[in-house]
Amino acid sequence: MKARKIFYVFPGQGSQYRGMGSDLVREFESAREIYARASAVVGYDIAKLSFEDPDDKLATTRYTQPALLTHEVACLTALRDLAGGAGGAAVTAGHSLGEYSALVCAGALSFEGALALVAERGRLMSEHGRGSMLATTLELEPARELADKHYCGIGGCNLPEQTVIAGDTADLDALAEDLAKTHPGKRGIKLNAEGAFHTYLMIAAALKFRETLRNTEFRKIAVEVLSNYTGRPHIDDPDAIRSRLFFQLFHTVRWVACMNAAIDAGVDTIVELGGGIGKGDTPAEKRPNLESIVKKSLIWRQREAQYLPAINADGIRAAAEQLIKPA
């Protein structure tokens, strides 16, 4: 029987929603434990924030990041409980914030250690954040030329023809006008972000975050983790991991490179854990955030892999059943 080569992926900010995780705590003891541990770390009721969001804080970066990491790890823990040994990943990666969940998945960070990191990361990004982000259908080089012209930066390369540009709001507005004139067949969509993340405008936050990274314990990597900063596997050395997480804050998220590295590694099963998007109000109605990007990446490379969403209780059970089956 052929063993699966599984790639776990974790989405980033923007995939949070009110009600996130409420189904998990009803159905999985492990999820209830994760949420209790999370509240003890951050000092507030992260379950109430995630399930009810009574004060409309969930979309604020300092609260989004701990809540989303908690949801992702709760999904991961529940899936592992159901799938047992069949749920072991060969490769893992996360988009921006999701990289911290990937490091937890790989054993390089404890859940509590990762949560403390992202709570501080979110706080600093909120305090130092300014500007905004624009998702475009440009390839990297024309996007870079346009960004340079308008004092902006490349926040993310999600697909060969999907590049996120970020900068001060006035600069980005001028860039959007220029985009419409010079690339009439291309689109630009403003993202709901508190700042120009993953660009030079995050350097002040990164410099303060460096001290938090220095004081965080990192352990041996048990599963290959792909770095947003390099697009290649993390080096199994605590200082190397720290430096790449530091640089990640103000450098491009190289998701295309991460996907290519996983595809080149021969993954045949891709599992997305946590978050959700779409108009539905309940976890069961949400769609996976990275699904389209993942599937388009496979098509671009002319490769096939089974895709399994594990973002809610029903999806986790279905994914576990598939993982237990022979590949």
Rounded to an integer, what distance in angstroms lies between the CA atom of residue 32 and that of residue 13?
A: 22
Residues 6+ apart with CB under 8 A from 252: 153, 154, 155, 156, 157, 198
Helices marked H in 84-202: 98-105, 111-128, 140-149, 169-182
Residues 6+ apart with CB under 8 A from 47: 21, 25, 35, 36, 38, 39
Rounded to an integer, what distance in angstroms lies between the CA atom of residue 204 and that of residue 180?
A: 32
Rounded to an integer, what distance in angstroms lies between the CA atom of residue 12 and that of residue 14?
A: 6
Per the residue annotation, which of 128, 198, 234, 251 is the catalytic one? 198
Q: What are phi and psi of 219, to 5 degrees?
A: -115, 180
> Is 251 in the active site?
no
CB neighbours of residue 230 within 10 Å: 17
> Is 150 in the active site?
no
Rounded to an integer, what distance in angstroms lies between the CA atom of residue 277 and that of residue 71?
A: 14
In the chain the first and final C-alpha atoms are separated, in Å, by: 8
Helix (H, G, I), strand (E, B) or coil at 279: coil
Per the residue annotation, which of 96, 101, 227, 297 is the catalytic one? 96
The catalytic site residues sit at 96, 198
